[in-house]
Structure 1
Amino acid sequence: MDVRDLRPPVEDGPWPPATHHPPLDHPPPEGARTWTGLTYAMVDGYRPMVLDLHVPLAALRPPVVLWVHGGGWREGDRRLVPLQWGQQRLFQRLVDAGLAVATVDYRLLAESSLPGPVHDVVAAVRYLRRYADELGVDASRLALWGESAGAHLAAVVALAAGQAHPDQWLLGSTGVGHGPAGVTALVGWYGVYDLTLLPSLVAMLWPDTPAYEREELARRLSPVRMVAPDSPPMLLLHGEADTLVPVDQSVRLHEAARAAGARSELEVSPGSEHVFAGEPVEPRWERTVDFLAQHLR
């Protein structure tokens, strides 16, 4: 089955729990050189951490967009976007805009609690920077784009790495192990940015941790507390009708950025649920690609 034909299991109503996918063929985006399964980190006792990279053939050393998938920190796949959107279309849109796109797998919660997944995204950034010449990209112009849980991870990495004195506990030393992890721009779609306001989520993220320790972990992993005047410019998109992640999460990060003197743009879609269900996603793609092109070029 061509991955581009993959659709939601039902049109309406709750989806049954996913237990597998059918055999899927993943043709690369047209007009791109594709690197599949690059091992950006090897962590003892875990599966290799891998990413895919699609580099537009028509561009000379293009900038890079690192896509961080969602899935509640518990599931997800670097090769797939939310099923409602149709597969490969988003990655093709970035390639058509002359932007290389890297898609990253990271450790999920059954494998590692936070900040382990943060360390993985940092490692992916450092890997792309280390091997930019071999890969034919300009990783000094690199943006992070995450959706849902991926937006949280992207924001933590972008904001923590950009601080004058980065928190090494947050960044870790996975993979390449050292080197710059700062990015040029950040895009967050319906993400969680202040964990301290979501105690039930915090309990899910660290179920075996004492309550007082969970509170400290939630504080240290909340992007709203990491914004600085020189934080990378950010674009935040959220559906006002989102019942999974309150729109207030994006509002708070936007207000924190503006209060700190950082650049932030916030767009709220009145009729959208999570993953922009209820409204077409394509206008959000176009808005985001325009933002990325502006800041990466």
Structure 2
Amino acid sequence: MDDDAVTSWVEPREVPREEFPASTWEPQGMRTLEADARPRHGTATLGVEYAEKSGRTLHLQIIQPSRQVAEVPGSESRLPLVVFVQGSAWLEQALGVSLLPLADFAERGYVVAIVEYRPSFVAPFPAQVRDAKTAIRFLRAHADDYGIDAERVAMWGDSSGGHTTVLTYLTEDDPEYSDEPTDEPLGVSCYVDYYAPTDISRMNQEPSTMDHVSPGSPEGLLIGGHAVLESAELVAPTVAMNHIRPDRDLKPLLIVHGDKDRLVPFQQSALLYEALVEAGQPVDLYRLKGADHGGPAVWAEPVMDLVDGFIRSHLPATAG
């Protein structure tokens, strides 16, 4: 180190940003822009391990919005949690498929966690429901780590993730569908179902581009690689309507489904809606006219306004 470097040495010390001195260097020809430090993006914490099951590590992708990221570390900024189950025909999930639209949704004032479940070829039904419940309990237990208000939780899923969401909704306190003691409550206030299968034995009663009944179909694999129409005992527990009981008060449910869905026929949501209405349960069904299975239509602003409004109207009020 030469003499000039030694004489200009500045001892490192922790200084708040507001008190840190600006550099005085002024290279000839330099141009200057004013810095705008207002947060525009949240953060995504990827690959958070929440459980080890069937020899697999299961993960969460957790999105925190910019308004929370901007808070002073250690502050008591808590936001409601939305637990989202990504559809995948119950196979291996591509957990980034809905990451960007969900990041936009998080900016409305939510922490969003995308759940990985065990694929059906590793563990058939009801493993996916049990995994979702484990994930919810993990997130509530680790609320401090992610700025979550553990008393304000909603669940949302699409396609097979919608099926997992609906079955979680219908079996909240059923020990058969939980890997944890059911006296440890889920604490979910409301549920959103995007175009979920609800009766896998009736998937081909309307036009579809898929085989839904052979042993190798997504539905066949869900029940362990069996022919759907020849396996009534295995199919029965997967059928949402079989879990509706009029003597039990369910949480509010919002259903959204396109009427030109080529993979999961609209009839599947109609069946669930009619059964819940008949049982006197709180449910809303919205048909997306002309919409296919997922895609841009389900993330359009009016639909996001609908989902946001539904969730907010059913979350408990914040303390104080």
Scaled to the shorter chain, the TM-score interval is 0.7 to 0.9
Measure the CA separation in 2 of the matches of 1:33 and 1:236: 29
Match of 1:129 among 140, 147, 150: 140
TM-score of the two chains, using structure 2 as the length reference: 0.72
Report 1:203-222 matches (<5 A): 203-209=220-226, 214-222=231-239
Find out whether 1:76 has 2:93 as its counterpart. Answer: yes
* RMSD of aligned Cα (Å): 2.7
Indicate the residue corresponding to 2:64 in structure 1. Answer: 55
Matching residue's letter, 1:227:
I
Measure the CA separation in 2 of the matches of 1:119 and 1:131: 18
Structure 2 vs 1, CA of residues 187 and 113 (structure 1 numbering), >3 Å: closer, same or farther? same
Measure the CA separation in 1 of the matches of 2:306 and 2:103: 15
C-alpha distance after superposition, 1:57-97 (max 9, x if no partner): 5352111001111121113222222xxxxx61x22322221
Match of 2:293 among 250, 257, 274: 274
Measure the CA separation in 2 of the matches of 1:35 and 1:217: 37
Measure the CA separation in 1 of the matches of 2:114 and 2:46: 10
Indicate the residue corresponding to 2:33 in structure 1. Answer: none
Structure 2 vs 1, CA of residues 104 and 97 (structure 1 numbering), >3 Å: closer, same or farther? same
Indicate the residue corresponding to 2:82 in structure 1. Answer: 65
Find out whether 1:98 has 2:109 as its counterpart. Answer: yes
Find out whether 1:194 has 2:199 as its counterpart. Answer: yes
Measure the CA separation in 1 of the matches of 2:158 and 2:188: 17
| Secondary structure, aligned partner of 2:171 | helix
C-alpha distance after superposition, 1:133-160 (max 9, x if no partner): 3332112211111111100001111221
Shift of 1:51: 0.3
Match of 1:151 among 162, 178, 188: 162
Shift of 1:208: 4.0
C-alpha distance after superposition, 1:157-180 (max 9, x if no partner): 12210xxxx33222234xx99722
Measure the CA separation in 1 of the matches of 2:257 and 2:198: 12
TM-score of the two chains, using structure 1 as the length reference: 0.77
Shift of 1:102: 0.6
More displaced stretch, 259-268 vs 286-295: 286-295
Measure the CA separation in 1 of the matches of 2:256 and 2:171: 21
More relative contact order, 1 or 2 (CA 8 Å, 6+ apart): 1
Matching residue's letter, 2:235:
A
Give percent identity, aligned residues only. Answer: 29
Match of 2:310 among 271, 291, 296: 291
Measure the CA separation in 2 of the matches of 1:125 and 1:58: 23
* Total equivalences in the alignment: 256
Matching residue's letter, 1:265:
D
Find out whether 1:116 has 2:127 as its counterpart. Answer: yes
Shift of 1:30: 4.5
Indicate the residue corresponding to 2:53 in structure 1. Answer: 43
| Secondary structure, aligned partner of 1:106 | coil
